[in-house]
Each structure stands twice: as structure tokens, then as C-alpha cells.
């Protein structure tokens, strides 16, 4: 690998991520692997409370004051100006943009500053492409134009997490299909998410996610009511914070109302999710669409059977009858029936949970995903160098 800047001995890899908390939970192992592979690693992100831990790993952090969902033209133009200054000063050999806003903002700035290699990662299509609301459809049109402009550049590569998203991006001509790499999520560490025995007591069904309508939280609550009406003895638990930056966020008032009704418990944010999985008998994610949900991988690593919707992303993880059950999206009746079946059959739960653990170890370890991503970095850099050489007179 050759470095872009004169005198630099190691290629510089710059990550652009909206929040340092997300980087810590989803990309820090990859960044550590990149350091070990010989990259100089820099992170540009909004800093909250994880900077010390990230920098202790050997990653230089550059704070960027921005918002994940901001649309104010003045504020966004200032963010672009700051990013432009950072990219010009840092002169990265490779940038890795994660999620929609970094892909758009970072992609534009990378084009303006001549970054040799751009890797973009999108964890699903997001609200704009999945919602039927007029505002979302208009946003999808704008994003489509931006994607075609930025993702089809010869220096750009795109990481997607499931076959459905890859097919849609290709069908809409948002990217050259040859520039898509399918990497199924970020993986988990099976040594950290260890298999756990079932807890004693009443069966507990856990939904671990941001509290969004698009995660099927409303369907889960409706299914919990059906279980209660049918005298199925179970605790139904919501685990996660609401997300005010997301258009489909469920209000804190609504979550408290459900809790006060007695149909579900709401545990809120838990720092170490192993504590939550240790109290669950079944883990459920009735989402409407995903990239590839890390929560399901974590639960599977802990040996928990899974109940999820038969939608892109979820069905990448859940194989019906093998490690869990799949139900149609937006169908509380089917969801309640699947949950009741596992609540009433401890032997089936344990068998599915054991299979879930084996599948994660085999197919979804963080080491496997890091290897695939580092291979993409290498291939992209080599492709860029070959292209530059071929363009010389």
C-alpha cells in the first residue's frame, strides 16, 4: 500500500460516523483491526462520552459538531465547510463513511478534495425508502439523486448488509453493481456474548431496539395485549431508548403509558445488553425492514431463540425452525401466536437457542466481518492505484 501524503509511512484511514457511541458499539473492533493491519486511523464524529476509550485504542478523534438528522441549510453548510477543512488537512488515503448523512456529506467533500478511495456503508435503506409518507417519498427522490451522483463515482465502493438492499440499489441504478460488497453486518464477539442458561421464573420476551414505530414496537405491544387476554403467562419487555432524531420515534409519554397500562415493561437503555439477554427466554424483533440487526446476533450469541419478521435484514439472521420463528410484518396476531408457541415449549426454546449460538459462531463473528472489510480496503486501494497508473500519459 502506498500513502497519499509525502513522507507518510502508513496509509491513513478516516472514518466519518455521526456519533462516537455508535462507533464504539459497531466499528471500534474494525478500527482496531485496521490499526493492526498497518493503517493510521482517524475518526471524525460528534463526541459525547466515548472519546477517551476510542483514543486509548490508538485512534485519533477529531470532533465534529453535527446532528444526525439536521436539515437546516445554514447549519449543514457550516458542517460541510468544517468537513472540507478536515479532509484537506488530513489528506486520507481511504475514507469509510457510515450511514446516510456521512455518506452524503462525506461523499461530496471526498469528491471535492480528491480522496483516492471512498468506502460507503449503509445499514439498510432507512426511513426515506421504507415509509409511505409524502415527505419520505420526496426525501427518497432527493437521496436517490445524491446516491447516483456520489456512489457511481469510479473511486467509490458500497457496503450493504443484505441481498434485498443490494438488488434494490442495483435496480434503481443508484450504484454500479460491481462496486457493491455484501458484508452481513458488523458481527459480534462470541467470547463476549456467551451462551447463557435460561433464567428461572416466568417466561420473558425481550424486544431490544430503539423505540421506533418502524421497529414494530406497536405491533409487539398489541401482541402482548393478545397474550394477556389469552392468559398466556409471560413478561413482555421493551429494552431501549427512544430516538428523537428519527421521524418514527415513539414518545416517552407513550412508552410510559404502555408501561403504566401493565401490558409491557420498559427498561430503557441498558449499557451492557448481556444483562438484559440473561433475563430473557425469547428475543423478538418485529421490525419492518433492517440492514442486519446486531441485536439479533447478540441475542443469538447468548443462546436465545429469535422471533422476527420475515423482512430484509431479519431473515438474514433468522432461519425459521432452525434458530427461531419468522412472522409477517405488521401482524400482531401472528406475532402473538409465535411467541405463545415458544413460551409454552421450553424444550423447543432451548433447541432453537443452541442452534442460534452455533450459527452466530459459524457465520457472524466480528473477526469474519473485519476480515471481509479489510479485504475490501485492500482491493479498493489496489484498484485505485491501478486506475491512476492507467490514466498516466
| pLDDT tens-place values along the chain, 393 residues long | 456 665 568 999 999 999 999 999 999 999 999 999 999 999 999 999 999 999 999 999 999 998 876 667 888 999 999 999 999 999 999 999 999 999 999 999 999 999 999 999 998 666 556 656 666 667 677 888 889 999 999 999 999 999 999 999 999 899 999 999 999 999 999 999 999 999 999 999 999 999 999 999 999 999 999 999 999 999 999 999 998 888 899 999 999 999 999 999 999 999 999 999 999 999 999 999 999 999 999 999 999 999 999 999 999 999 999 999 999 999 999 999 999 999 999 999 999 999 999 999 999 999 999 999 999 999 999 987 655 544 433
- Crossing angle, helix 294-301 and helix 346-363, to 10 degrees? 110
Task: Classify residue 116 by burial, with Cβ atoms within 10 Å: 0-12, 13-18, 19+.
Answer: buried
What are the grid coordinates assigned to 346, written together? Answer: 421450553
Which CATH architecture is the domain 203-363 placed in?
Answer: 3-Layer(aba) Sandwich (3.40)
SS3 of 181-239 = EECCCCCECCCCCCCCCCCCCCEEEEEECCEEHHHCHHHHHHHHHHHHHCCCCEEEEEE
**Record: fold of 12-186+366-390:** Rossmann fold (3.40.50)
Q: Do domains 12-186+366-390 and 203-363 have the same CATH topology?
A: yes
What are the grid coordinates assigned to 311, written together? Answer: 423482512
d(CA 259, CA 266) in angstroms, rounded, equals 6
The order of strands in the sheet holding 180-182 is 60-63, 40-46, 12-19, 94-98, 117-121, 156-160, 180-182
d(CA 344, CA 68) in angstroms, rounded, equals 42
121 φ, ψ (degrees, to nearest 5): -125, 125
Ordered by start, the domain boundaries in the chain are 12-186+366-390, 203-363
pTM, whole model, 2 decimals? 0.91
What are the grid coordinates assigned to 320, written together? Answer: 425459521
d(CA 10, CA 210) in angstroms, rounded, equals 38
Torsion of CA 219, 220, 222, 224, to 10 degrees: 170
d(CA 288, CA 127) in angstroms, rounded, equals 10
Amino acid at each position: 500500500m502506498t500513502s497519499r501524503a509525502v513522507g507518510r509511512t502508513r496509509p491513513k484511514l478516516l472514518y466519518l460516523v455521526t456519533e462516537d457511541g455508535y462507533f464504539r458499539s459497531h466499528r471500534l473492533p474494525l478500527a482496531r483491526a485496521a490499526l493492526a493491519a498497518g493503517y493510521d486511523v482517524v475518526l471524525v464524529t460528534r463526541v459525547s462520552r466515548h472519546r477517551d476509550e476510542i483514543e486509548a485504542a490508538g485512534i485519533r478523534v477529531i470532533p465534529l459538531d453535527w446532528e444526525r438528522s439536521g436539515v437546516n441549510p445554514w447549519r449543514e453548510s457550516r458542517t460541510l465547510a468544517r468537513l472540507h477543512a478536515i479532509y484537506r488537512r488530513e489528506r486520507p488515503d481511504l475514507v469509510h463513511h457510515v450511514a446516510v448523512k456521512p455518506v452524503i456529506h462525506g461523499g461530496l467533500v471526498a469528491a471535492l478534495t480528491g480522496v483516492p478511495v471512498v468506502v460507503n456503508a449503509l445499514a439498510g435503506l432507512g426511513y426515506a425508502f421504507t415509509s409511505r409518507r409524502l415527505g419520505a417519498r420526496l426525501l427518497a427522490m432527493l437521496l436517490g439523486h445524491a446516491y447516483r451522483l456520489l456512489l457511481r463515482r469510479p473511486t467509490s465502493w458500497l457496503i450493504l448488509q443484505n441481498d434485498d438492499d443490494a438488488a434494490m440499489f442495483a435496480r434503481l441504478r443508484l450504484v454500479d453493481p460491481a462496486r457493491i460488497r455484501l458484508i452481513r453486518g458488523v458481527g459480534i464477539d462470541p467470547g463476549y456474548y456467551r451462551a447463557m442458561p435460561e433464567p428461572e421464573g416466568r417466561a420473558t420476551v425481550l424486544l431490544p431496539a430503539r423505540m421506533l414505530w418502524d421497529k414494530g414496537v406497536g405491533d409487539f405491544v398489541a401482541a402482548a395485549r393478545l397474550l394477556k387476554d389469552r392468559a398466556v403467562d409471560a413478561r413482555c419487555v421493551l429494552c431501549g431508548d427512544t430516538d428523537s432524531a428519527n421521524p418514527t420515534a415513539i414518545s416517552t409519554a407513550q412508552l410510559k403509558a404502555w408501561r403504566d397500562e401493565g401490558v409491557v415493561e420498559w427498561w430503557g437503555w441498558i449499557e451492557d445488553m448481556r444483562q438484559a439477554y440473561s433475563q430473557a427466554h425469547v428475543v423478538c424483533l418485529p421490525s419492518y425492514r433492517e440492514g442486519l440487526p446486531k441485536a439479533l446476533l447478540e441475542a443469538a450469541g447468548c443462546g436465545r431463540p429469535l422471533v422476527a419478521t420475515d423482512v430484509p435484514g431479519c431473515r438474514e439472521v433468522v432461519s425459521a425452525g432452525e434458530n427461531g420463528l419468522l412472522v409477517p410484518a405488521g401482524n400482531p396476531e401472528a406475532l402473538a401466536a409465535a411467541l405463545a408457541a415458544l413460551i409454552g415449549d421450553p424444550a423447543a426454546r432451548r433447541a432453537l437457542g443452541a442452534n442460534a449460538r452455533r450459527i452466530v459462531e459459524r457465520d457472524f463473528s466480528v473477526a469474519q466481518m473485519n476480515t471481509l472489510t479489510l479485504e475490501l480496503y485492500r482491493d479498493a486501494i489496489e484498484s485505485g492505484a491501478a486506475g491512476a497508473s492507467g490514466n498516466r500519459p
